[in-house]
Structure 1
């Protein structure tokens, strides 16, 4: 009986240690993701998160952050005009996001990244891809909003779309800034489910509101 008790105690201790190690490593990687600036940084982090996910097997967040790192790499390249690379990066992000999606159902955060992947693909050729990738992205964001209507990242993406869309196509910088403000207000009260759950985006809302035209 004593041996059985000791064995169970050791197993419980090992499980707690493994979970603590996972949380520590993830916390460190997420912090690096928030601070990263270069495509090389994002590539390295995406690979790191994939390795963590492959090791853990049942955790969706490593694959989620791998997808986010790839998306941020794509957005970085988009800002420098390297549009010819976006399809490959979007596909890379999709591979990771599909792995995350297979491990968790009915979460807005997956759909938010799905919207961002469609946006990357659309930006390769906005005129010809709006009716395909643009509509798919809008559908993903609509589904996300039904699941989590007060999620500030949903409002943030709406703000981006509204701000950057020309007025003749329904966009408005004024309305976009109003949505950025709404997103920032939501960030003040929105609480992630755990310390590792997505909590990004406030910095972008702050940037737009601080640098109003």
Structure 2
């Protein structure tokens, strides 16, 4: 009995240590992603997350964050007008997001990133791709909302769409700001499932609301 008790304690200690190492690794890389500024920074972080995922094999979050880092790289390039690179970056993100999806089905956070990938692809040629990538993105966001209707990142992406869409196509700066406010209100009460789960987006909502005309 004493040996069994000691073996159980040893197993628990090893499990806790391994879990702590995993949590620390993911937390450290999230911090790096938050500090990233260049496409090269985001590439390095994405590769780091993917390596963690390949090592752990059963954890969806490293692949999720690897995909997010690629998306942020794409958004960084989009702001500087380098649109021709977005298809390749979207493919990088999709590769890791598919791995995350295989490990975590019906996950609103994964559908949210899927929407963002479609947005990247649409921005290569918005006029010709709106009916394809735009509709696929809207479908992904609708799936996310069905699974987690109070998720503030859903409202954040809706706000972006409304804010940046020209008025002749149904967009509105004022309605977009209203949706950013809704997102910020949701962030005040929304709780991630774990300390490692996605918790990004609040700063962007605050930015738009603090810089409104």
TM category (shorter chain) comes to over 0.9
Q: SS in structure 1 opposite 2:195?
A: coil
TM-score between the two structures when normalised by the length of structure 2: 0.97
Deviations 1:78-120 (A, max 9, x none): 0001001000000000000000000011111000000000000
Which residue number corresponds to residue 76 of structure 1?
Answer: 76
Which residue number corresponds to residue 185 of structure 1?
Answer: 185
Cα distance in 2, alignment partners of residues 207 and 158 from structure 1: 16
Which residue number corresponds to residue 27 of structure 1?
Answer: 27
Q: SS in structure 2 opposite 1:189?
A: coil
Q: SS in structure 1 opposite 2:188?
A: helix
Task: Give matches, 1:189-200, under 5 Å.
Answer: 189-200=189-200
- Deviation of the 1:7 alpha carbon: 3.1
Task: Give matches, 1:52-201, under 5 Å.
Answer: 52-201=52-201
- Deviation of the 1:39 alpha carbon: 0.7
The answer for unaligned runs of 5 or more in structure 1 is none
Deviations 1:48-102 (A, max 9, x none): 0000001111100000000000000000000001001000000000000000000
- Deviation of the 1:20 alpha carbon: 0.7
Cα distance in 2, alignment partners of residues 40 and 173 from structure 1: 32
TM-score between the two structures when normalised by the length of structure 1: 0.97
Q: Provide the aligned C-alpha RMSD in A.
A: 1.0
The answer for unaligned runs of 5 or more in structure 2 is none
Cα distance in 2, alignment partners of residues 92 and 76 from structure 1: 15
- Deviation of the 1:26 alpha carbon: 1.0
Cα distance in 1, alignment partners of residues 172 and 37 from structure 2: 28
- Deviation of the 1:6 alpha carbon: 3.0
Cα distance in 2, alignment partners of residues 29 and 199 from structure 1: 14
- Deviation of the 1:27 alpha carbon: 1.1
Q: Alignment length, in residue pairs? A: 213
- Deviation of the 1:16 alpha carbon: 0.9
Q: SS in structure 1 opposite 2:122?
A: helix
Cα distance in 1, alignment partners of residues 137 and 119 from structure 2: 7
Cα distance in 1, alignment partners of residues 2 and 164 from structure 2: 67
Cα distance in 2, alignment partners of residues 4 and 202 from structure 1: 48
Cα distance in 2, alignment partners of residues 91 and 39 from structure 1: 15
- Deviation of the 1:14 alpha carbon: 1.0
Q: SS in structure 2 opposite 1:52?
A: helix
